Structure 1
């Protein structure tokens, strides 16, 4: 089948890496990835306005499969967000990136019933790296936006340092807080102990993962977090909140430690537990690596084939 991919930002390195990995998986399954003349278009909706593509698809009556890579409650606050989803549903099936997102979507947009199924996301494969930080670090790789709960992590980290003063925190990701998180870290007395590393290249992220003792994702809301999947693929012991589809990826006490959303005290206790227990870190990290292998590009491509057939 000839499949066109749409919705990726050509200026975003992560978007381009995702598109390249998925295109290779489709080719391995015998499909052709084309820029025009597609039998089915696969739109990846990250929250950017799909209006130009949507209008072309409606005029040309293109069959379209849409994947929802977004926090739905936030997207629906934008004027026209609900209408856009309903228009896309008329062009073909939609895919949520986890079961939790599918449940939320059907609750918020009942018109999607019968058009929406869950297909797990994958992330860019990071190059392997080995390393050890000069001082032990905790790593969080996430967009620095309110729903990611970075403020909660800073509060939890401040409590951790009361008894583990050697710990350092590295925050990797695009800063959408306009500096407010750095200011908050300063008010907590953490400025010398927190590094705002910015958005890292895949090789740089791989190096920081190799250096990290613990990976933490403190989200208030989530879908199926690719950053968490990357950390698990690297064999890291992880702490994450029970937000969205996180518990579909991480089994508490098996692949990582899960805590309630919005609870800095629980984050502190989980981080301290992993910080102090190398054997537990090794056991959870090894299990996390095995677990992450289940969420492969080839599995995703196979899961989308029935949706492509239904759209065409």
Structure 2
């Protein structure tokens, strides 16, 4: 009996490179959402990790392995598009080198910009040679994807010949939790436990609010300098008011969102934070700082409240306003969910990426 030959695996149309998907950062969350929604299968995407969390040795091993795989795929399988998720510093250097290899192999390239610190990195921290290389990388990319119009304007000004497309981060729309699960005056933060995320301003705001709100709880979900946060909470008399559950997986995150009365992210700088979008998708009122792409997603007084960064007093005032006014809280939460449905759903964003891929690859939809 003759056996049918085993079909050779199709070469990828798109090679996507970024951080390991089992990681705990925003890029891993973004890409994982796209994969779960079927983008990889629909557009023949192959994913290569070029960064992993862990020791310096583990990071070096991941970088070298990712470099080797990228070279092998670009030269051997010639994907039409190489799509790199990048931010600043080492992430930019790794991805810019990989995109150079991809261009030399004749591939179209996408530089997908994440991270709120890129403007400072490109304009202040980088020396003249590195600034020229950043501009060259942006200009030579087939497409630069930014998360917002504001970031698109920056890229266009920094590298005028670059071709920019705005594609926001996306989140799935979860089933809504029972409103009865929400605990009064419970404020949830999700992110790194570090000063740049505004966690110490949130503690300072909590100290101002504690005398007026006897049920106040500040929940800090994430990894980082938990000891410094605990020490500062003790100094402010908030020992019994804070919870530090550590990093939260998807199930634990959803449980904490269900219990929270509102969500707060008082960062000093941001791109388009996934944790904020997840909170909005979960139909929570959000109090966030007016940094990065946040003001393009959150309209003050409509689907959330915006406050200046590094301003604990303004933060305390906004948190108090939401906690004291159930009608306001309900309106903000409802509009937040509607915003995600209209502009940030996975269906919408995957469609935008598919269009870019197919235009670069010269194939029809």
Whether the TM-score (by the shorter chain) exceeds 0.5 is: yes
8 A Cα contact 1:98 1:119, kept in partner: yes
- What corresponds to 1:73 in structure 2? 119
Higher relative contact order (CA 8 A, sep 6+): 1
Indicate the SS of the match to 2:205. helix
Matched with 1:45 is 86
Provide TM-score, normalisation by structure 1.
0.86
Asked whether 1:270 is paired with 2:280, we answer: no
- Alpha-carbon separation, structure 1, partners of 2:231 and 2:256: 23
Q: CA RMSD, aligned part only?
A: 2.8
Residue of structure 2 in register with 1:12 after alignment: 23
> Which whole-Å CA distance do the structure 1 matches of 2:182 and 2:346 have between them?
31
**Structure 1 unpaired stretches of 5+:** none
Q: Which residue of 1 aligns with 2:213?
A: 164
Q: CA deviation at 1:275?
A: 1.0
Q: Establish whether residue 194 from structure 1 lines up as the match of residue 242 from structure 2.
A: yes
1:287 and 1:151, CA in 2 relative to 1: closer, same or farther beyond 3 A? same
| More off after superposition, 301-310 vs 1-10 | 301-310
Please give the TM-score of this superposition, normalised by the length of structure 2: 0.75
Q: Which residue of structure 2 lines up, in the alignment, with residue 140 of structure 1?
A: 189
Report the 3-state secondary structure (helix = DSSP H, G, I; strand = E; otherwise coil) of the residue aligned with 1:169. strand
Q: Is the 8 A contact 1:61 1:91 kept in 2?
A: no
1:127–1:206 contact (8 Å) kept in structure 2: no
**CA shift at 1:297, angstroms?**
2.0
Shift of the 97–134 alpha-carbon distance from structure 1 to 2, 3 Å rule, reads: closer
Change (3 A) 1:194 1:85: farther
Does residue 136 of structure 2 align to residue 95 of structure 1? no
Say yes or no: does 1:174 pair with 2:223: yes
Q: Does 2:105 match 1:60?
A: yes
Distance, in Å, in 2 between the alignment partners of 1:247 and 1:8 is: 27
SS of aligned partner of 2:169: coil
Q: Is residue 223 of structure 1 aligned with residue 271 of structure 2?
A: yes
Give CA-to-partner distance per residue, 1:52-86, whole Å, 9 cap, x none: 63353244232111210112135433674762463
Higher gyration radius (CA): 2
| Bigger Cα displacement from structure 2, 76-85 vs 92-101 | 76-85
Distance 1:290 1:91 in 2: 34
Instruction: Give the alignment of 1:97-112 within 5 angstroms.
Output: 97-107=147-157, 110-112=158-160
Q: How many residues align?
A: 309
Question: What per-residue deviation string (whole Å, max 9, x for no partner) do you get for residues 148-184 of structure 1?
Answer: 2111111111101121132010011221x47333322
Contact 1:17 1:124 in 2 (8 A): no
Residue by residue over 1:244-290, the C-alpha shift from the partner in whole angstroms, topping out at 9 and shown as x without a partner, is 22121112222112222222111111111111122221221111111
* CA pair 239-82 structure 1, distance change in 2 beyond 3 A: farther
Q: Distance in 2 between matches of 1:133 and 1:27?
A: 34
> Aligned partners of 1:172 and 1:78: how far apart in 2?
32
| In structure 1, distance between residues paired with 2:243 and 2:161 | 44
